[in-house]
Amino acid sequence: MAEIKCIGVVGAGQMGSGIAQLAVVNGVDVWLHDTEAEALSRAHNSISKNIERLVSKGHLSQAVEADAARRLRCTSSLDDLISVDMVIEAVVESEDVKKKLFVQLDKILKGSAILASNTSSISITRLASATSRPSQVIGMHFMNPPPIMKLVEIIKGADTSDDTYNATRCLAERMGKTVICSNDYPGFIVNRILMPMINEAFHALHTGVATKEDIDTGMKLGTNHPMGPLELADLIGLDVCLSIMKVLQAGLGDSKYAPCPLLVQYVDAGRLGRKRGVGVYDYDSRPKEIKPLAQL
């Protein structure tokens, strides 16, 4: 099993930049790719500031900071990934978008390279079917935010080889993560359990069981969760939550996974959570409250 020394990370959003940060501070070379120059610049600045903050708190040395800066390179061309040992995609949670990207990468990457998806719910087997290397396709699901959350969920597709799994696991552990392994079922482990809970919290809000504050406080203090389910949904992104619920509903064929109408309404209204400044909660203090459908 060859050691993964250089990776490509496609998608310079919160997840992609977090994965890139983890890699460079743990001695892995990174090509961070995005089609938008502004996204790359924002990600590079964010990574630099985060590492600088860790140094100031004594969590990292200045030598690691300098080494990490040398290891991080940004690009808007997929062709620059030609020599990497693995690509981790962290683009939008859409099967069509991910498949199209994997088709492109399959033609560019060296034959031994691994294609990993940070998908939180989409079938690895179906993504692998779009490539000529299904044995080298795997799910590598980081939790949000990647530099802080300790877990990486690895998902084996129908044809994922043991060598691919072992190399991916070693990389995750090198990044300081605890690894769990899931078979290729909708939602895998974490979101198969988490998203129905978040969806039920939306139903509780939608039907007037309690206020959003009381729902979240109840789950934080009553079950010792660090965040309430509605707060967590805002952090994840309501559009992502909705997408995962649709995958669960379609893949498992059970009406209990149908997205709550209030979740759908919020996404339709552009209330996507922290990344937009407003979701279940308002993060930029402007009056944007939308009443649950049951109260309209």
Do 23 and 153 belong to one domain?
yes
Look at residues 183, 203, 229 and tell me which one is the last residue of a structural domain: 183
Do 170 and 199 belong to one domain?
no
Could you tell me if residue 13 is inside a domain? yes
> In this predicted structure, what is the pLDDT of residue 115?
98
Could you tell me if residue 1 is inside a domain? no
Spatial CA neighbour of 262 closest among 198, 205, 216, 214: 205
144 is an annotated ligand-binding site residue: yes
100 is an annotated ligand-binding site residue: no
> Of 33, 44, 117, 153, which residue is the catalytic one?
153
The yes-or-no answer on residue 50 being catalytic is no
The yes-or-no answer on residue 120 being catalytic is yes
* 3-class secondary structure per residue, the chain: CCCCCEEEEECCCHHHHHHHHHHHHCCCEEEEECCCHHHHHHHHHHHHHHHHHHHHCCCCCHHHHHHHHHHEEEECCHHHHCCCCEEEECCCCCHHHHHHHHHHHHHHCCCCCEEEECCCCCCHHHHHCCCCCHHHEEEEEECCCCCCCCEEEEEECCCCCHHHHHHHHHHHHHCCCEEEEEECCCCCCHHHHHHHHHHHHHHHHHCCCCCHHHHHHHHHHHHCCCCCHHHHHHHHCHHHHHHHHHHHHHHHCCHHHCCCHHHHHHHHCCCCEHHHCECCCECCCCCCCCCCHHHC
The yes-or-no answer on residue 225 being catalytic is no
120 is an annotated ligand-binding site residue: yes
Could you tell me if residue 83 is inside a domain? yes
> Of 17, 117, 120, 123, which residue is the catalytic one?
120
Could you tell me if residue 296 is inside a domain? no
> In this predicted structure, what is the pLDDT of residue 285?
61
Do 155 and 234 belong to one domain?
no
Could you tell me if residue 202 is inside a domain? yes
Residues of the chain with pLDDT under 50: 286-296
Question: Residue 257 sits in a domain of what CATH number?
Answer: 1.10.1040.50
The yes-or-no answer on residue 206 being catalytic is no
Look at residues 183, 201, 236 and tell me which one is the last residue of a structural domain: 183
Q: Which pTM value belongs to this model?
A: 0.88
The residue range of the domain holding 109 is: 6-183
Do 60 and 27 belong to one domain?
yes
Distance CA 126, CA 122 (A): 8
> In this predicted structure, what is the pLDDT of residue 296?
29
218 is an annotated ligand-binding site residue: no
> Of 17, 118, 182, 191, which residue is the catalytic one?
191
Could you tell me if residue 295 is inside a domain? no
> In this predicted structure, what is the pLDDT of residue 237?
94
62 is an annotated ligand-binding site residue: no
Do 179 and 249 belong to one domain?
no
> In this predicted structure, what is the pLDDT of residue 274?
94
> Of 141, 182, 231, 243, which residue is the catalytic one?
141
> In this predicted structure, what is the pLDDT of residue 244?
94
> In this predicted structure, what is the pLDDT of residue 144?
87
Q: In what order do the strands lie in the sheet with 178-183?
A: 72-75, 29-33, 6-10, 86-89, 114-117, 137-142, 151-156, 178-183
> In this predicted structure, what is the pLDDT of residue 166?
97
Could you tell me if residue 259 is inside a domain? yes
Question: Residue 53 sits in a domain of what CATH number?
Answer: 3.40.50.720
Q: How many domains does the chain have?
A: 2
99 is an annotated ligand-binding site residue: no
